[in-house]
Amino acid sequence: MKQLTLALFLLLFCLSAFAQKKPAYVIYSAKGKQVSYAKMLRQLQSKDIVLFGEYHNNAIAHWLQLELCQDLQNRRSLILGAEMIEADNQEALNKYLTGEIDAKGLDTLARLWKNYKTDYAPLVNFAKDNNLPFAATNIPRRYASKVAYDGFAALDSLSEEEKTWIAPLPMAYDAELPGYKNMLTMMGSAHGGENFPKAQACKDATMAHFILQYFKPGSLFLHFNGSYHSDNYEGILWYLQQQKPTLNYATISTVSQADVSKLLDEHKGLADFIICVDEDMTSTY
């Protein structure tokens, strides 16, 4: 009787523990093996450049971005940068970082994303509070739009000042990269045909250009971008490796699944570390 009671107690205890263990996210390696945050942090701290691929409205990704900033800051000299601020807004961003203007002034002078206050202001404010550089790495959207319609030739007519806000011309482009080929397949002729992935490429090339421009040997550059810009070790990373193949890179991707206990095969290999978030997680917009 005592043995039965003990067995029942252990069963109830195990069921209770299992019920309480309902993680909002799990971190996986590229091969789909579960990885602790501490192990990811240890591996990332030895890198030169880390590309953190996010879903723009994913609360878990944004929270982990700030956590990484805080934890890496204790281990390395840190430089931050983001797709979400375009290169021609660097001057306004610098004024905010140095205290010359306040948050309202930044909102007036720069083109900030609609979710800036909730999702990216914490990162910019972290840089401000810790006197860290923060690079506005993306090509101005109006130029990417030109490329989507008229190809790379549309950039030739930019003024000399405007050309300082993009990657140097002519931009390298490999139309055979799977990511660009998939974009062409998905969008077809309705969205500019073969020029549509070129618009993506000009963003990737420009972000890589400014990452390398701001990078300093001995520092760790943590860059925030949409996952598609660095998934499958393409996009930004392809351009970085073309220019600086000897640097030590790492990538992070974000995915969502109904069940986070096992990474789906389709998500394996996206990045060095894959943050798998429960699809029911509240979105930031």
Query: Which residue range is the domain that position 79 belongs to?
Result: 41-138+201-256
13: in domain: no
**Single-letter amino acid code for the residue at 211:** I
Average pLDDT over residues 244-263: 98
Instruction: Classify residue 61 as exposed, middle or buried by CB count within 10 Å of its CB (0-12, 13-18, 19+).
Output: buried
- How many Cβ atoms are within 10 Å of 31's Cβ, its own excluded? 10
2: in domain: no
Rounded to 5°, the CA angle 130-135-112 comes to 95
What pLDDT is recorded for position 11?
Answer: 41
CATH code at 121?
3.40.50.11550
Contacts of residue 174, defined as CB under 8 A and 6 or more positions apart, other chains included, come to: 180, 238
Prediction pTM value: 0.91
97: in domain: yes
- Count: domains in the chain: 1
- Distance, in Å, from the CA atom of 250 to the CA atom of 246, rounded to the nearest integer, reads 13
The answer to whether 136 and 91 have CB atoms below 8 angstroms apart is no
**64 is written with which tokens?**
């982990």
195: in domain: no
53: in domain: yes
Q: Cα Rg for the chain, rounded, in angstroms? A: 21
End-to-end CA distance of the chain: 56
Nearest CA to 212 out of 224, 223, 197 is that of 223
pLDDT for 30-75, tens place per residue?
999 999 999 999 999 999 999 999 999 999 999 999 999 999 999 9
